[in-house]
Structures are given as C-alpha cells and as structure tokens.
Structure 1
Amino acid sequence: MNKEIKNIAIIGTGVIGNGWIARFIAKGYNVTAFDLAEGAEERTRAMLNRVWPSLKELGISDIASQDNLSFVTTLEEAVATADYVQENVPEREELKKSVLQSIDANTNPNVIIGSSTSGIMPSTLQDGLKNPERLIVAHPFNPVYILPLVEIVGGEKTSKETIERADALLTAIAMKPLIVTKEIEGHIADRLMEALWREALHLVNDGIATTEEVDKAIIYGAGLRWAQMGPFMTFHLAGGDAGMRHMLEQFGPALKLPWTKLEAPELTDELKERVITGSEKSAGNLSVAELEEKRNEFLVKQLELVADYWPVFSNKSE
C-alpha cells in the first residue's frame, strides 16, 4: 500500500469506475464514491460481492474490507478528504472538463487527479484547471480489478512529480503502469485494439467471415501468443535463429500488399445486425453476468500463467 496516499475518491461508478473501486478496496484503501445515477451504490456493492472471490485469488491486502467503501451525495463531499481522485464520467469532452474543474476547485493542489478517458488527450482536459500540473490520464482496461495495464499520460502542463507519484500509487495496487511520453488520441493500447476491430468489421461486412470465425482466429491463434508475448517479440521468433532481422527481410515486403484497410466500414444497420446476432449466438444461453464470471476465472488463471513464464509481469503483491 502507498503510505502517502490512503483515501481515494471515485467519481462515476459505471463499469470502469466500479473496477477502480474493486481494485483499490482489495488493496486496503479507503474509497469514497459519487455517482448521480439511481441505484449506483446498490450496483457497486453487488459487483464487489460478485468479484470478491477473484480478488482474493489474485491476492488482497490484510486490511482489505468492503466496509472501506462509502457513497456520498455530492462531488464536493467525495473529494473533500481525498489523496487521489479518479474521474470516470462518460466520454464527452465538455462533461469531463466540467467535472474535472469541479474536482480541481474542491481539492488540495497536491492531490493527483486521474481521468479514465480512453481517447481524449490530457492537455485538452487541463484547459480551465487552476492546477493543471496535477492532472493525468490514468487509462485502465476492463476488468480493471483484474487486468494490470494502466496507461499514464501527462499533458503539456503535467509535472514530472505528478507522473512519478501516480506511477508509485498504481504500482502499489498491483498495476503495470505504461507511461506514455507523447500525447496522442486513443493513447497506445486502444489504438492497437481499434486497428484490429476495424479490420474485423471489414471482414464481417464483406461477408468473408462471421463474428464467430473472427473470434476463433484470435482465440486459437494470435490471442494465445499475445498473452505471453507482444507482436514484436512474436515476430522476432518468426524469424528463426536470426530473429527480427530475418523476419523483416523475408516478410517485410508483404507490408505493401493491400491486406488491411485503415478506415472503418460504414456502420450500416445490416452490419450492426450481423455483429449483434453473431455475438448473441456465440454467447448462447449465458447472460452477460455469467460470461463475465467465466472471463474473470480465465483471466486470473491466465495472469498466474504469464507470471510463471515472465516473473517481471507478476500481478501479485509482494
């Protein structure tokens, strides 16, 4: 646990906000949450009960308790005693700016403010803040309470100290911070995933593959390798004894072939229906909640396997 930071404020308790809550609570922090949506607290507490077994298997703090979570009725009350604030409101620039400005106005200037935005650059969000140097993007991945990656992105006015403190905090809750040193829309991981998503939509739209076939291609092919190695290390092995040098010489020219499409296809009603019905067919009789439970069990086992092969990537606390 980070000794400097003990009290966390979570603003917005949708899927991502709740994921943050679960991770911080599991690591022994006090969390104060705020969300205007009716039934928000009930949904969050039900989620905590549902995922607690997965959190225990990953490793929770000796002082972790669901009683360390409290909900309040105003943003000002939520951030009043916070040492760190994580904003998770919908991905609308003006809404995020407004909420971040309220957080900025009601917290001590040394409190770090993180935004979970998946695409907006931090310099944009810093506009209008009195203390912009303490704002970062802290972009996690769903489910936040299991997946360790978090992208830390500073804006033009973010201080080096803020980045370092955020890195220390997020490492303390068993995350694997990726510090993005140059701002770009969508950061790093989402840009990679979006490229694959666009190509998948083209394959379905052009009648080349079904949603089930696209998923199968990833599950039993690239996905298995990517869980252990990223694309560069995967292609390094593809080059044989000479590694990446031979791989680029042999397969580099193929990059010029028109195998992929950079722009996404138009999301027509027909394409939507193909994607929706295909996904529902693959889900079978399982509800989203049941699918989430199966996913969580798989990811916990997968993280343990990754740690066995790559100890530096272990997600368990010391």
Structure 2
Amino acid sequence: MKVAVVGAGVIGASWTTLFLTHGHEVVATDPAPGAERRLRAAVTADQGRLSFTPDLAEAVADAGFVQENGPERPELKDEVFAVLDAAAPAGTVLASSSSGLLPSRIQQACAAHPERVLVGHPFNPPHLVPLVEVVPGARTSEAAVERAVDFYRGLGRRPIRLRRELPGHVANRLQAALWREAYSLVEQGAASVADIDTAIAHGPGLRWALLGPFLNQHLSGGPGGIAHVLEHLGPPMEEWWADLGAPRLTPELARAIADGVRDELAGTAEADLVAERDALLTLLLDAKNRTEHL
C-alpha cells in the first residue's frame, strides 16, 4: 500500500520508518526548507520505497492511507485537511497524529468526506511504542474506524478505540494525572526531581511496562484480586486522592523542574540517554512479544 506521511518532523520520520519496515511504499510531504534531507537522515529503514514531494495534493493523490503529523494549530489543520479532503481518494482514511485536537474539530475542514477523518495518535517513538489511540469524530464512519484499526494492527501496533472524544485522549490524560502530582511534589519541596523519577522508573513504572493499572491492582490482591484491593485499600486511596496537589505551572515551578532535570542529567549526553532508552524498549518489546499474555 502507498501511505502518505504529511509532516516529516520527529513523529513523521518515526511513522515513515515503521511504514517502510512493514513493506509499504511511503510518499512524504512537508513544506519546510530542508525537510526531505532531515527526514532521510532520521529514517532508519530501507529508503528504496520512500519518495518526497513538497506538494501536499500530489502526495496524497493515490495514497491508500494518510497519516498527518502537522503542528497542533487548528487553523493550520484546517488548511491541511481541506487539501487532503479534496485530493485523497474518497475511500482513503485521513488519520491525524494529533495529541490533543478533537477529530470532530478537524472534520469541519472536510466538506467532501468527513466520514473518513479520525485521530490515530501514536506514542513517541511510533516505530517502537505499539500504542495507537484511534479516536473517531462525530461524523466518522464505522468503516473508517475499522480500516484504521486493521491497518495499525497490520503494523504490529496495539490500537485502542476511544468511545468518546476527550482532550488529550486517554493515555495523555493518564500521564497528565501523574505529572500533575509529580509537579506538585516538587512545588511542595517534598522530593527532588531526580528522586521522583527514581520512584517511578525503579518502582511502579517497571510493573506498568508489563500490565496496566487495573491488572496490576488485581494481581496485588492475591486470591481476592481487585475486589479485595478495593475493599481494603479503597478508603485510604480516597484519602490520598483528596490530598493530591493542584499545582499551577508558574514560572518559578517551571524553572525548578528544568533545574531539577539539569541536575539529574549531571552531564549525561541526551543522545546517549535516548539511545539507551530505545535499545531497552526494543529488548522489552521483544521479551513481551515472546509471552502469551503480555
């Protein structure tokens, strides 16, 4: 299949790597000067089936699937999707990688075929992290949702379908809940940035990489499972909820967080950190793929 990648930045390059790895032909487009050079430098797959054009309409004219990755600016999305709607074949799904915009808002720019517009939100980097959130809008057809889910599954991804539109979808909202309390703990002076990172990376984050919050709770309940956990730990958990912080991201707090990250890195090259992260992600995903249930 020919897949059009609209927007060739970090996310677009990662999608391109994934599509090429799974045998698809990719045509990428991005109006930014030097976009093709940067894309080809970032893509780690065989580029024999990769082409590039700065012409948006040309890029999607015969695409079987479109993955859009432009900036999170509604007015720019309107311009892009108006062209996509007019130029892409009528049966081609138009999926946006948007992490926050609602698909019903994006559909407003599509006068011809709003029914094939949806959000296909990946987690960075998409060529490694399997999650894709498929979010239909008010006018998205069931057929388009099914085509998108099947397409992402064919790429070895783990798509989930949202049953209602929400700002930030599901996974970002869950992350935001954790970040909110992490920022609050820094604001209160309860723990350092480095210690909070350690608490997650060497504690619950290890289990979260294997199972989600509900199954982790269930397994911690012994023979009684999650029902036992909720019966015995539910009341104190409600007390913790009531005590959680509600920080505002003031300049002072933002500076404290940035300073804390700088101190935590302590001279570590970020490129080395990214390389180690991606290598461990690959090992973890390989190990999970060899299990029956994870």
Partner of 1:226: 208
Partner of 1:259: 243
Q: Which of residues 256, 268, 278 is equivalent to 1:274?
A: 256
Partner of 1:214: 196
2:43 aligned counterpart, secondary structure: helix
Q: Which of residues 106, 109, 123 is equivalent to 1:125?
A: 106
State the Cα distance separating 1:79 from its structure 2 match. 1.0
CA deviations over 1:139-195 (Å, ceiling 9, x no partner): 000011100100111111111111111111111111111011222111111110111
8 Å Cα contact 2:6/2:68 also seen in 1: yes
Partners of 1:287 and 1:43 lie apart in 2 by 21
Partner of 1:177: 159
CA deviations over 1:189-210 (Å, ceiling 9, x no partner): 1110111011111111111111
Partners of 2:270 and 2:15 lie apart in 1 by 20
Q: Which has the higher contact order (CA 8 A, sep 6+)?
A: 1
State the Cα distance separating 1:120 from its structure 2 match. 1.5
State the Cα distance separating 1:312 from its structure 2 match. 5.0
Structure 2: gaps spanning 5 or more residues: none
Q: Which of residues 83, 90, 110 is equivalent to 2:64?
A: 83
Q: Which of residues 8, 12, 21 is equivalent to 1:13?
A: 8
Partners of 1:191 and 1:135 lie apart in 2 by 22
Partner of 2:225: 243
8 Å Cα contact 2:69/2:97 also seen in 1: yes
Q: How does 1:130-169 map to 2 (within 5 A)?
A: 130-169=112-151
CA deviations over 1:185-244 (Å, ceiling 9, x no partner): 111111101110111111111111111111101011110111111111111122221111
8 Å Cα contact 1:227/1:306 also seen in 2: no
Amino acid at match of 1:36: P
Is residue 23 of structure 1 aligned with residue 18 of structure 2? yes
8 Å Cα contact 1:123/1:155 also seen in 2: yes
Structure 1: gaps spanning 5 or more residues: 1-5, 53-64, 314-318
Partners of 1:266 and 1:187 lie apart in 2 by 22
TM-score (norm 2): 0.94
8 Å Cα contact 2:81/2:109 also seen in 1: no
Tell me how many residue pairs correspond in the alignment. 291
Aligned sequence identity (%): 41
